[in-house]
Structure 1
Amino acid sequence: MNFPNLEGMNDMRELFLSHNSLTGEIPGWILGSRHFIDLSYNNFTQSGAQGCQFPNVNLVASQSSSTSNSVPWCVQPDLPCSRNNNHYSLYINCGGARVNFDGNEYDENASDQGPAHFESNDRWAYSSTGIFMGDGGRSFVARNDSPIVSTGGGEIYQTARLSASSLKFYGLCLRRGSYRVRLHFAEIMFSNDTTFRSVGRRMFDVAIQGEVVLTDFNIANEANGTGIGIYRDFNVLVNGSTLEIHLYWTGKGTTAIPQRGIYGPLISAIAVTPNFDVSTGLSVGAIIGIVISSFVVVLLILLVLWWKGCFGGRDLEDKGK
């Protein structure tokens, strides 16, 4: 399906056409639009984009294929690595500043952009889509200065990034292998008290590498209360060079209670660490298997040498008969 001609629609404020199998070329007026436009995950043959980030336009993975080096990596399917894929970990403080937590430094992710936004650095990127119903001016980051209950300190749980529809984080240029993905959550926009803030219900789904890992996830229910930091771990394989973590709203939960514009997916931090030895590329299981196999081989060799009398034991036994 070709892209429709919408240039004359001056009253249009938002246009969300993600995942619509659109083809052809993206009109030039799109790239300089003042409106929020999301054309991600389509099949355009030419984007016309010379870069990856625009103030109001999201073009991530919008082009079907390309063999030209002039086409930005971010508009190509699967966000291929444009350099050596030598990264093997990442830490993101979603919605917050750079912070040290649990012995690791978490990168800043404090931008307030969200309706149709893509942002990246050399290690990771994120894509946000959607306008909150009834509150188009709502911030896409949340902060709560109240004490957070957690096992490792509450720094990363004080802030969070949220989205009205879809929120994707990408690990870029990762080495192939198995990784542990740790997702940190804390419900910091609702309360446990008897006020109106306690009646809100947040529910969303999470998929990693296209596989749904959390369905109808309710942070407050999982943590047994609000203002409590929790995490969920998942082991995933990166066969290419890009890791995709997708949080998305499926229409469940409250949307106007206790106030408009605080529903949808919410995440506090992300940590991705390798399940393999970074110096060898081997997993812990593989290393243990090699050690055990080597021990068995050495033991067999020693038994054969003993049987042939190389250690003297066999000759003494034969002489005694």
Structure 2
Amino acid sequence: MFVLKISFLAGNSLFINSGGEEVDDGKNHYHNDTSLSSFNLSPSEDWAYSYAGDYLWAKVNASTLVRNLTCEITNSKANIDNNFRLAPVSLTYYGLCLRKGKYIVTLHFAKALYSKSEDYSTSGKRVFDIYIQGMIVKKDVNIKEIPGKEHEERRLQFKVKINDGSLEIKFFWAGKGSLYNPPGLNGPLISAVSITRVPRKLHDWEIALIAVGCILFLLLLLAFMWRMGWIGDRELRETTVKIGERTFTLKQIIDATKKFSPKMELGSNIARSC
């Protein structure tokens, strides 16, 4: 069991360059993920990862779990798809300090099958399952079979709701796929993780409240300008404000409210003055 220090500054997004250095693709900033330990909490303390298990037929050094290959990927951005992180059995990413709401999780998979260097995966099949928040969202994932054009990265997207500020993404090898090929073939593989918040749609009452607030602000601003003598009667008669389906001049509103007297009820005399 481990204890994480949670920051009070919750975020709306998180980008991790699995197996690669810190990088910026022009839109998003991807965190460095090159640690070789079985558990690592990021310096920013807003995400962590852990992996577990051993390869069946060979002992593999931890350094081989982080790879960088020169891939022939046509739509690769800022090299986030040229590297990847491997795990023997399970690999889990923890998103921390995320605001409550709906998010889209995008999983990027390097097309390492097209590496110009030694290709250790073309002769076999890598199969694993994906869990989000403890629920399986994709079973028997085979990177080769993810829809996409040849020599392009492959992506999977999932919608998720976060209520407690944390997100768990787990890749788990359930013993399927190739077992007897070169070490490192079985187990999950991931190149990058992107977590972005879905903008919340405003309710009708919120839109109405904003509209009323804008109208009141405009009225107060014009009243202040009139009191300061910055606008005269001509401007008052020509300046109009639309309230609902009706349009009033600023002078009508000032007269109806007796120069915005606090003794006047809002709207009680506007109708009579027209």
Question: When the two structures are superposed, what TM-score results if normalisation uses the length of structure 1?
Answer: 0.59
Describe how 1:211-222 pairs up with structure 2 within 5 A. Answer: 211-222=135-146
2:129·2:171 contact (CA, 8 Å) conserved in 1? yes
Would you say how many aligned residue pairs link Structure 1 and Structure 2?
A: 222
Distance 1:196 1:183, change over 3 A: closer
Q: Could you say which residue in structure 2 is the equivalent of 1:128?
A: 51
Shift of 1:225: 6.8
1:186·1:220 contact (CA, 8 Å) conserved in 2? no
Query: Residues of 1 paired with 2:186 and 2:205: CA distance?
Result: 47
Q: Deviations over 1:77-101 (max 9, x none)?
A: xxxx534252222111000111222
Report the structure, 1 or 2, having the larger strand content.
2
Query: Residues of 2 paired with 1:288 and 1:185: CA distance?
Result: 40
CA RMSD of aligned residues (A): 3.4
Query: Residues of 2 paired with 1:288 and 1:108: CA distance?
Result: 42
Matched, 1:112 2:36: yes
Query: Residues of 2 paired with 1:261 and 1:196: CA distance?
Result: 8
Distance 1:118 1:292, change over 3 A: same
Query: Residues of 2 paired with 1:162 and 1:196: CA distance?
Result: 13
Instruction: Kindly indicate whether structure 1 or structure 2 has the higher relative contact order, using CA contacts under 8 Å at least 6 residues apart.
Output: 2
Query: Residues of 2 paired with 1:291 and 1:228: CA distance?
Result: 42
Describe how 1:1-321 pairs up with structure 2 within 5 A. Answer: 62=1, 73-74=3-4, 82-113=6-37, 117-121=38-42, 122-138=45-61, 139-150=64-75, 152-153=76-77, 155-189=79-113, 198-224=122-148, 227-257=151-181, 259-276=182-199, 283=200, 285-286=201-202, 290-291=206-207, 302-303=244-245
Q: Deviations over 1:118-161 (max 9, x none)?
A: 100211100010111112224111221132132x5361110000
2:72·2:115 contact (CA, 8 Å) conserved in 1? no
Q: Could you say which residue in structure 2 is the equivalent of 1:47?
A: none
- In structure 2, give the amino acid aligned to 1:128: Y
Question: When the two structures are superposed, what TM-score results if normalisation uses the length of structure 2?
Answer: 0.69
1:73·1:82 contact (CA, 8 Å) conserved in 2? no
Question: Bigger CA drift: 170-179 or 220-229?
Answer: 220-229
1:220·1:226 contact (CA, 8 Å) conserved in 2? no
Q: Could you say which residue in structure 2 is the equivalent of 1:13?
A: none
Gaps of 5+ in 1: 1-61, 63-71, 75-80, 277-282, 316-321
Runs of 4 or more above 2 Å deviation: 189-192, 195-199, 223-228, 286-296, 301-306, 308-312
Q: Deviations over 1:43-97 (max 9, x none)?
A: xxxxxxxxxxxxxxxxxxx3xxxxxxxxx514xxxxxx53425222211100011
2:109·2:153 contact (CA, 8 Å) conserved in 1? yes
Q: Deviations over 1:136-187 (max 9, x none)?
A: 224111221132132x536111000011111000111222222221111123
Distance 1:241 1:85, change over 3 A: farther
Distance 1:288 1:256, change over 3 A: farther
Shift of 1:260: 2.4
- In structure 2, give the amino acid aligned to 1:218: N
Query: Residues of 1 paired with 2:161 and 2:127: CA distance?
Result: 26
Gaps of 5+ in 2: 216-242, 249-267
Question: Bigger CA drift: 287-296 or 224-233?
Answer: 287-296
